[in-house]
Structure 1
Amino acid sequence: MDYILPDGCRKYFRDPFGPLFPDIATAESVFAGCVIIAVGDVVTQNLVDAGIIPDLAVIDGSTMREPCDRVLDLPVPEVVVVNPAGMVTGVLIRAIEDAMHAGPSLIRVDGEEDLAVIPAVRAAPDGACVLYGQPGEGVVVIKVDEHSRDRAEVLFRLFVAE
């Protein structure tokens, strides 16, 4: 099943879902030792540049809806899924859930990966950290626990099943 985010609900996704840091180096003390899930090309590349290979990376080849000038080629198994803008497909949800049990993985999205943060938090084990970029501001780090998972559930309920 696929899920569409109604236009009127997009406002709930504008504020950072967790603490905002200016860069990876500043945030590293928060996510050190965690299972790391990176959502977005720039945050993934910044992790790799810092010598950190995320346990799961979800990228779409663009940043702020423009082609990303960084081509990521991680030394991990890769899956390609289709996920149009403004929605979360069942295929993306399953790929994220499968990756949580498969070890290091890269999910390359044909479409848009922005909303993948929600299924990533829902599927991640307690103690994992989901990182994503807040354009023009820095990186958001979500430490997965009951509270963050509950918040992800509330946000997921805003989607309409298709």
Structure 2
Amino acid sequence: MITPAYCLTMARYNAWQNRAMQRAMETLSTEDLTRDRGAFFGSILGTVNHILWADQTWLSRLSDMPKPQGGIPESPNICPTLPVWSAERFRMDGRFILWAEALRALDLTGDLSWYSGVLKGDVKMPVARVVVHVFNHQTHHRGQVHAMLTAAGATPDATDLFAMPDAGPWP
């Protein structure tokens, strides 16, 4: 289904897009970042916090990284300010890239089991499908952030994967 090269490309894409979002967010006031915009996680900052929390949660299931505190309801509030989020996001992007660089094809086989707070039960799914979900989740919510940034008057960068500089080998 997927390869380690695909995972590394997507981890790099994720980091590139997060840096672009940060630059656009830095052009806005704290009020603009925290204003409820009717999105599922409320504000721009709430949504990027949720993405960060979800990345931490998924990587804790896929590696030896500790699980973050709280659940989905608390996720929009894990970082109170843009500078705190920026530092945590930088660390998380580095962890994702290191994880992807160390992947072997065998690591993407078999099943992953965990307790899902969303489904209120145990889940078992192929690892490769979980990894695809992680990257899809990031992209889905970044699309929401992109729309909110644009509506707030910021000018987000391109989001197309083919526009990413130094993408490395294509899977």
Q: Normalized against structure 2, the TM-score is what?
A: 0.34
Larger radius of gyration: 2
The structure with the largest helix share of the pair is 2
